[in-house]
Amino acid sequence: MNDTQPRIETDRLILRPFTQRDADAVMRLAGDREIADTTLNIPHPYKEGMAEDWISTHREGIESGDSLTLAITLTDTGELVGAVGLTVQKEHSRAELGYWTGRQYWGLGYCTEAARALVEYGFDKMELNRIYASHFSGNTASGRVMEKLGMKHEGIMRQHVRKEGSYVDLVIYGITRKQYA
């Protein structure tokens, strides 16, 4: 593991930077309508070239320390399951956690396993003081992942974002370094 090529291993998963070779799988998994429905920044339809463009932004984020986006892959087969990432606000030593997993992999604990490892990495290696996350109200599965990570429900920001023309409430969860310890 180093600063530009972070690699995190868990019981069943390897988290590692995306490469352009992942683009087809990203398009197939993230291109699912159900992924776009509960995320703010994943477009639908997910067009040719979007995965390549997205992946090409990751390196700069990792090198500058402004973000860390990792591919969630199965240790046994190497297949791509999804993505997990931290967007850092350095002046506050805090980061926002985000994630998605392909629909065929839902409910198998992969998101929780990956996000738990990244939260640990964020506190231990990136020396963050706080990690937070938000989900659209109604996205119970995502809220459940946040709970399983030990994050606390902190509140609801009413109509905080506009999604496809409608205002959506954001449910906020967070954990501080002190709570984590």
Ligand X SMILES: CC(C)(COP(=O)(O)OP(=O)(O)OC[C@H]1O[C@@H](n2cnc3c(N)ncnc32)[C@H](O)[C@@H]1OP(=O)(O)O)[C@@H](O)C(=O)NCCC(=O)NCCS
Name the site residues for ligand X (rule: CB under 6 A): 35, 38-39, 99-101, 105-112, 135, 139-142, 144-145
The runs of H, that is alpha helices, within the chain are: 23-30, 33-37, 50-56, 58-64, 110-124, 140-148, 177-180
Q: How far is the CB of 166 from ligand X (least distance, A)?
A: 16
Q: How far is the CB of 84 from ligand X (least distance, A)?
A: 9
Nearest-angstrom CA–CA distance, 83 and 100:
6
Nearest-angstrom CA–CA distance, 81 and 94:
26
Nearer to ligand X by Cβ, of 63 and 154: the residue is 154
Q: How far is the CB of 122 from ligand X (least distance, A)?
A: 17
CA-nearest of 57, 112, 119 to 85 is: 119
Nearest-angstrom CA–CA distance, 74 and 13:
5
Q: CB-based contacts of 176: which residues, under 8 Å, 6+ apart?
A: 129, 130
Q: How far is the CB of 14 from ligand X (least distance, A)?
A: 16
Nearer to ligand X by Cβ, of 110 and 123: the residue is 110
Nearer to ligand X by Cβ, of 27 and 59: the residue is 27
Pairing of strands 8-9, 13-16: antiparallel
Q: How far is the CB of 30 from ligand X (least distance, A)?
A: 9
Nearer to ligand X by Cβ, of 38 and 93: the residue is 38
Decide if 46 contacts 30 (C-beta within 8 A). yes
Phi first, then psi: what are they for 121, rounded to 5°? -60, -40
Nearer to ligand X by Cβ, of 59 and 105: the residue is 105
